[in-house]
A and B are shown apart, each in its own frame.
Chain A
Amino acid sequence: MNSELRIADKKDWLKGATGDWEVIIGMEVHAQVSSKAKLFSGASAEYGGEPNDHVSLVDAAMPGMLPVINEFCVEQAVKTGLGLKAQINPHSVFDRKNYFYPDLPQGYQISQYKQPVVGEGVVRVDVEDGHSIDVGIERLHLEQDAGKSLHDQHPNMSFVDLNRSGVALMEIVSRPDMRSADEAKAYVTKLRQIMRYLGTCDGNMEQGSLRADINVSVRRPGEPFGTRCEIKNVNSIRFMGQAIAYEARRQIGVLEDGGKIDQETRLFDAKKGETRSMRSKEEAHDYRYFPDPDLLPLELEADWIAHIKAALPELPDEKRDRFIKDYGLSAYDADVLIAERASAAYFETVAKGRDGKTAANWVINELFGRLNKEGKDIENTPVSADQLGAVIDLIQAGTISGKIAKDVFEIVWTEGGNPAEIVEKRGLRQVTDTGAIEKAVDDIIAGNPDKVEQVKAKPTMLGWFVGQVMKTTGGKANPQAVNQILRQKLGL
């Protein structure tokens, strides 16, 4: 569908003083390629390090140094392109994007301009309120990252560290297909998820592995696009939402006051929650791109691309659909489980040979709940998938009740161990011996004649009796059996 034609859901329209407005969003996401070495040199691409330690003479742009491309970075870009259901271009070209800045020693960034390695694709995005949109991908190209400047070390000098200089980035350009801050946030979340599944970008936003330039404009619903502003380098999904909300409001204000929007680059100030003009960069927009004479065109063999395609892991959309179909999960549960590849794999281990819904409930409610509470992620879970599976087996076999199972889970979480052995050793086995339960029931009925009278008038009092029986049996009595015997003896 033509990007311009899609009109936002009415609930996403923004009310102005003179009527409704619609916000139009397109994004350029910069994703750092997961690789050991840089795009055109053998220096380490690892985050951090001592100043200028991960720098080769190529990255420092010493005279006579020549770039040699890292084949794995190309593979990562192609893999990402395939994950975005995009066209892979067998012939692409590296260009020089010329500008001067202290963190760019070459005086140009090696990028791809007219012939990127990946062409058009599409991403399905599920927005929180339940609707789905398709966001068109215009292109994905490879380029070098710049170095880092520190401004707080000296009163009138900036310090420059080139460790990041030359690290491979994928710039992923979307069509202006998003119509609300929520859609934009969901799009970036989805891109991040896809790349983490593929292992092509770690998506670590604190370390700057994923940043976005956001193009925002407003229009009257259904009218032609307005003039856009570009908000540079926003590095958290929450800030993206705030920046878009602020910028849309600002533009509506200008237009409703009879002004016009200047196409310009703006910065988001996270502290103030607003965007401001960044006029100094305006002039630099004449980048004078030309093909880099140091690099031949990038030619990709069809076999090589096919090989990468064949080795792609199952992607989030397919996994979600399969979880719903094969395990009978709700869309919501499936989404929670597939958020991370590791959590999906954990769930599948638990669900193997067991009831899918029960496994999902335990993984989502007990495990994820507990992990969240302690700020741990699935990679560091104290309860392994096999241990959790064993707990579920004990419930299914009637060995323990669901309530005791939670206690067993707790013991495994804090102390570790084999759930079946824990149950045996600590005598947590469920009492299914009706004789023992009957005795407990008889004792309680005999000891509480007043309550017996009450329950006859008010059957919901039964819960009190159940509680008493559980108390005297240490929670080990089979709840169904207790209920049944109580009802029978109380004549309910």
Chain B
Amino acid sequence: MSVDQKTVRRIAHLARIKVSEADVPRLEGELNSILHWIEQLNEVNVEGVEPLTSVVAMKMKKRADVVTDGNYPQDVTRNAPAAEDEFFMVPKVVE
């Protein structure tokens, strides 16, 4: 598997990362070398091996259905570039 320059631009856009045209060829090379390395891993035979989801044998931690958090809208919006009346303000998005 490999990516072309068009795919590099698309991935950057999907991730909302600004990539200049000059950087595209370099990123194409870097991404392809990563993909190439992953392809080497594909050579290993993993027939019958369960996927590893955690390096320690543990169950997922769960919480009870109790309200324990919230009620601090000022804290939630404190770092927002723009906020008013405890709302976040963002450039208008209308469908």
Contacts and interface: CB of A to CB of B under 8 A. Distances in A.
B16 A100 contact: yes
B80 to A, nearest CB: 9
A43 B67 CA distance: 5
A172 interface: no
A415 interface: no
B16 to A, nearest CB: 6
Contact of B61 (A50, A52, A68): A68
Given A53-B73, A156-B92, A42 B54 contact: no
Could you tell me the dominant secondary structure of chain B's interface residues? loop
A297 B86 contact: no
Contacts, number: 126
Contacts of A296: 53-54, 58-60
A16 interface: no
B87 A72 contact: no
A297 B73 contact: no
Interface string B61-95: 11111111111010111000010111111111111
Interface string A42-57: 1110000011111111
A38 B82 CA distance: 26
A71 B76 CA distance: 25
B87 A51 contact: yes
A11 B84 CA distance: 55
A71 B59 CA distance: 13
A238 interface: no
B66 A157 contact: no
A93 B69 CA distance: 26
Contacts of A69: 60-63
Contacts of B91: 156-158
A150 B92 CA distance: 9
A41 B84 CA distance: 25
Interface residues of B, number: 35
Summarize A's interface: helix, strand, loop or mixed. Answer: loop
Contacts of A286: 14
Contact of B65 (A71, A157, A295): A71
Nearest to A161: B87
Greatest chain A CB density within 10 A among B54, B61, B76, B92 is at B76
Contacts of B65: 35-37, 70-73
B9 to A, nearest CB: 12
Contact of B68 (A37, A52, A288, A298): A37
B84 to A, nearest CB: 7
A385 B21 CA distance: 76
29 contacts: A37-B66, A37-B68, A43-B67, A50-B73, A50-B86, A53-B73, A56-B69, A56-B70, A57-B69, A58-B69, A60-B76, A68-B63, A69-B60, A70-B64, A71-B62, A151-B93, A151-B94, A156-B91, A156-B92, A157-B82, A157-B89, A158-B89, A158-B94, A159-B85, A160-B88, A161-B87, A161-B88, A296-B58, A296-B60
Given A52-B86, A154-B89, 11 more contacts: A51-B87, A53-B70, A53-B86, A68-B62, A70-B64, A98-B14, A149-B90, A157-B92, A296-B59, A297-B53, A297-B60
Interface of A: 35-37, 41-44, 50-58, 60, 68-74, 98, 100-102, 149-151, 153-154, 156-162, 267, 278, 280, 286, 288, 291, 295-299
